[in-house]
Structure 1
């Protein structure tokens, strides 16, 4: 049986994650409020941001930027797009 959550991005009941995606309280909050689909979409978008903006994940500023964008993306707020990316 799959676990369901009320996804904060899509505002409806959807399949939940199997395990928390991050450690600690933040991971628990995401586990309880973000669907599997929304998390997978975020991972794809995060990869585009890292590649297109040439982010160095060793840089704390880049990591803070990604955390901020993750919150915006998963909350349905306006978030940064990858420069030059045109969706199909």
Structure 2
């Protein structure tokens, strides 16, 4: 049985991440408070932001921006969206 965590995004017990997604204390915190589905959703959002806004991950300002957007996303606060992104129709 997979381990579960009380997800701060979805406010319910869901499958936990198998390992910290980031190094250090921040990664440990995310593993303990964010579910695998929420993290996967963030990764898709992160990819759209990086691509559409042409973020350079070598730039400290761009990394700080993305970390701020991650916190906002995981806390269900307003986040920036990739302009022109249209979700695929089902």
Superposition TM-score tier, normalisation by shorter sequence: over 0.9
TM-score (norm 1): 0.97
Alignment of 1:37-56 (within 5 A): 37-56=37-56
Query: CA offsets, 1:14-72, max 9 Å, x none?
Result: 00000010111100100000000000000011000000000011110000000000000
TM-score (norm 2): 0.95
Alignment of 1:2-81 (within 5 A): 2-81=2-81
* Structure 2: unaligned runs, 5 residues or longer: none
- Say what the alpha-carbon RMSD is for the aligned residues: 0.7
Post-superposition shift, 1:85? 1.2
Over 6 Å off, 4+ runs: none
